């Protein structure tokens, strides 16, 4: 019997007395055991259509929570319109030494330097193959830290997961794998996307490939990414990954830890970056907004800034698994207030 949602939220918050990584593993274990709630929610006004895929709603779980594709279906059952597993690398790797994730409670934020710890492509492919196919599930692809050919790692990910996921995300924006963000340079990015698209076309031609970018971009980098996105007809941009910046507003102990900062402090800069890319790409490349989403208002602001879909993760740490349902119930109120008949009508309306 499923636990009441309020009870699960309470238990999820109680687990934060554990260190962050232990708490995360405990949460995954609980979801695997069937202790998570099963949400029944549907509103046709929230349906979204992006890159040839149909979503029951635009709210997704960002990569990083379900690194090893252990609980995509239980997470969909929380109400998410889609779930992104990973990041997954061809070979298993342990990631960086612990401790490597830090709660910044006063800031509603987290710093992590996991370093693409995961069970590797073969194990994750087996789990995805064994799962009951429901909802929209994508895979976030990464490269092994010691890889001699990182582009080949992404190509291997596309081939290994063909037919097992509904979309791929090429993640070249994690700050925790040295040198990875160099793949955002124009010439490297063109080669990377051409090779992954070619592999996709051979194995699963209808599967979209999204590109996840960093928030810490210079104007030249933004122009290059926009140009490549247009030239290669990239299926979508995910804006954005965690940041290496440390705003002066941070108050929590541990704010100086190395790694990527996520949560509330990322909301404003990632939303501004989203708006900039929407201005550049509104007619050709759909956008997924991620960074600091912790409420329906946050999700709606991302949509108004140009996001066709929205993702969250860090807010679950503080708000518990009832958060997706709360957001979905409140989003139609924002549509009504602004006179929109459907969520798709609101995309980019504030730009």
Catalytic entry in 147, 173, 174, 270 = 174
Q: Does residue 240 have a cis peptide bond before it, meaning omega lies within 30 degrees of 0?
A: yes
Length in residues, the chain: 351
Pair 119, 66: CB distance under 8 Å = no
Write phi, then psi, for 267 (nearest 5 degrees): -60, -55
Q: For residues 260 and 36, what is the distance between their CA atoms, to the nearest angstrom?
A: 28
The reply to whether 187 belongs to the active site is: no
Q: For residues 231 and 193, what is the distance between their CA atoms, to the nearest angstrom?
A: 11
Q: For residues 150 and 183, what is the distance between their CA atoms, to the nearest angstrom?
A: 9
Q: For residues 39 and 316, what is the distance between their CA atoms, to the nearest angstrom?
A: 16
Q: For residues 285 and 305, what is the distance between their CA atoms, to the nearest angstrom?
A: 14
Please report the beta strands in the chain, taking only residues with DSSP state E, as ranges in sequence order. Answer: 48-50, 53-55, 59-61, 82-88, 101-104, 109-112, 136-141, 167-171, 209-213, 236-239, 260-263, 287-290, 309-312
Q: For residues 98 and 328, what is the distance between their CA atoms, to the nearest angstrom?
A: 35
Pair 110, 262: CB distance under 8 Å = yes
Nearest-10 crossing angle of helices 219-231, 264-281: 50
Instruction: Select from 67, 71, 63, 72 the least CA-distant residue to 33.
Output: 71
Q: For residues 198 and 318, what is the distance between their CA atoms, to the nearest angstrom?
A: 41
277's tokens = 């890319």
Q: For residues 11 and 37, what is the distance between their CA atoms, to the nearest angstrom?
A: 12
Catalytic residues: 174
């Amino acid at each position: 019997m499923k636990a009441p949602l309020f009870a699960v939220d309470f238990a999820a918050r109680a687990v934060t007395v554990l260190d962050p990584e232990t708490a995360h593993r405990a949460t995954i274990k609980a979801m695997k055991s069937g202790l998570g709630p099963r949400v029944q929610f549907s509103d046709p006004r929230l349906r979204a259509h992006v890159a040839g895929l149909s979503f029951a709603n635009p709210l997704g779980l960002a990569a990083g929570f379900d690194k090893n594709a252990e609980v995509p279906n239980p997470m969909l059952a929380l109400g998410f319109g889609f779930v992104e597993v990973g990041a997954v690398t061809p070979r298993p790797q342990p990631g960086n030494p612990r401790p490597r994730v830090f709660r910044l409670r006063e800031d509603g934020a987290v710093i992590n330097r996991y370093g693409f710890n995961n069970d590797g492509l073969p194990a994750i492919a087996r789990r995805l193959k064994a799962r009951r196919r429901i909802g929209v599930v994508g895979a976030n692809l990464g490269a092994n830290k010691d890889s001699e050919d990182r582009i080949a790692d992404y190509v291997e990910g596309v081939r290994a997961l063909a037919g097992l996921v509904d979309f791929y995300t090429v993640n070249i924006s994690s700050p925790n794998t040295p040198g990875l963000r160099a793949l955002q340079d124009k010439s490297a990015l063109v080669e990377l996307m051409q090779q992954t698209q070619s592999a996709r076309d051979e194995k699963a031609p209808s599967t979209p490939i999204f590109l996840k970018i960093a928030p810490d971009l210079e104007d030249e980098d933004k122009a290059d990414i926009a140009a490549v996105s247009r030239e290669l007809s990239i299926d979508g941009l995910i804006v954005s990954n965690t940041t290496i910046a440390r705003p002066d507003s941070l108050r929590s102990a541990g704010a100086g830890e190395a790694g990527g900062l996520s949560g509330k402090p990322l909301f404003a800069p990632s939303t501004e970056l989203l708006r900039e890319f929407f201005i550049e790409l509104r007619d050709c490349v759909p956008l997924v907004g991620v960074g600091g989403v912790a409420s329906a208002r946050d999700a709606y602001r991302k949509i108004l800034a140009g996001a066709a879909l929205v993702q969250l993760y860090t807010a679950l740490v503080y708000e518990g698994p009832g958060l997706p349902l709360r957001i979905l119930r409140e989003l139609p109120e924002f549509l009504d207030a602004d006179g929109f008949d459907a969520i798709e009508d609101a995309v980019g309306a504030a730009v």
